[in-house]
Amino acid sequence: MLPADQATPQPSLRRTAQTTALERIMKSTVDIHTEKQPAPASVLFQSGRPKINGMGTGIIIDERGYIVTNHHVIDGVQSIQVTLEDGASYQARVFNSDKMTDLAIIKVETPAALPVMPLGTSSDLMLGEDVLAVGNAFGWKHTITKGIVSAIGRDVELNEEQSYKNLIQTDAAINPGNSGGPLVNADGDVIAINVAIRAGAQKIGFAIPIDDARLEIAKLMSQKNPDVFHGLSTIDHKKGTDRKLIVRSVAPNSPAELAGVKPGDVIEKFGHTSIVDSADLERTLLGRSIGEKLDLTFRQSDQVKTASLSLVMNPRGNRLPQQQYTVAKPAPAQPAAGVQQPNANVAVPASDKSWEMLGMRLTPIPNGVKTLANQHYRGGLLVTEVRGTSPAESNGIRNGDVLVGLHVWETAKQEDVDYVLNQQDVKSANPLKFYILRDGETLYGHFQISSPTVVGRVQGTEAK
């Protein structure tokens, strides 16, 4: 029998899959400390103006220092300090945020690339499965708590100003300071972003499903990078381990179409970034320049293809509002209810280029009227008459449509249309792209103004 000091050592039972998973997620979780000035009334009887300290948590979503957290963590603050797991601290700035979804992206500049949070999915959650919450609980940095998924699909009204849809409920302890931090599964993949607690309750916390959050993250990134155009409109497909970014539509003559991408293709890699969803696609574009070329890898039917895609200036530029475009079928011209028709015998003013060249009469409508409700347009031109066999008629434009853009310009008044049509380079832009608002949806098409032949009709989906 061997002496005790020569016996074969037994493997440690301390290192488990859970501890290994935590090592991954701790490195990509950050603690957030904020400062802001209090409201004047709160310091009325105090000397000076002491600052209010705030705390929260963030998740690293890109190695260049982009971090997601909650909007309420950084709302109205004067300074944001981010602390990494190794203790290094950096000043951060707000990149973009949205109060409605209570999500925000902040940015830090670091000398080295940061570890990105392992991405999971909220599409296959199981009631009772183990979860871990990591956060800056009451200022105690990188605190870990454990619980289960208590419920899914919770709608929570926090107060009169803030409500949430489709939250995950957990009994993992979520405290003040946990906001913006990760809720992860047993594999160490983030499945949600912690957001709220139930006042006065114990073991009731809520988190935003990561699949919902990633859609908003993509939108927040796209809003800050409006000039770069690739021509892809995509769908996040997530069903358990089946996760992919599917092409919904491709804009005509766009870089994506020139690269050979078609609807139904799956985007697998863009540049050096492996693509799982639209947030990956949008973060790849951050910091890119017009004219820059990136290799795009996509799966088409059973073939994997790679093509060089050159980024171009967004044809809408900064002069047309950013908006998601949706598909609609063109319809024959017909009077819209309540639209007064002009007298066809009235002479057309010399300045009415829209009638002469496009075949439609227009009346300005200001922003704020019902037709433009919940839209981002600053105005538009109501179509009140369409001339037969004209470019407008051939493109399916009808009475009651609202012209909101022509070429790369907004069209809030007749002079805007005249300006575009009077440009020396208008023929070089032929066919001339137009944007109309119909039943709350923005549609686009192309006018062929140099000949009676029309090359397009009201068309489908366009995205950046």
**Residue 281: closest CA among 337, 324, 221, 321:** 221
**How many C-beta atoms surround the C-beta of residue 87 within 10 A?**
7
The catalytic residue among 31, 102, 280, 401 is 102
Instruction: Say how far apart CA 278 and CA 218 lie, in whole Å.
Output: 6
Type and span of the H or E element at 255: helix 255-258
Strands 163-170, 140-157: pairing is antiparallel
Tokens 């929570």: give the residue. Answer: 156
- Given 28, 97, 150, 179, the catalytic residue: 179
Question: Could you confirm whether 28 is annotated as catalytic?
Answer: no
Enumerate the β-bridge partners of residue 239.
242
Nearest residue to 116 via CA among 273, 285, 244: 273
Burial bucket for residue 456 (CB in 10 Å: 0-12, 13-18, 19+)? buried
Rounded Cα gap, residues 448 and 394, in angstroms: 10
Query: Which ranges in 324-366 belong to alpha helices (H)?
Result: 353
The answer to whether the beta carbons of residues 133 and 100 sit under 8 Å apart is no
Residue 432: closest CA among 402, 395, 464: 395
DSSP state of 119: B
Do residues 447 and 213 touch, judged by C-beta distance below 8 A?
Answer: no
Q: Is 189 part of the annotated catalytic residue set?
A: no
Q: Is 230 a catalytic residue?
A: no
Catalytically active residues are 72, 102, 179
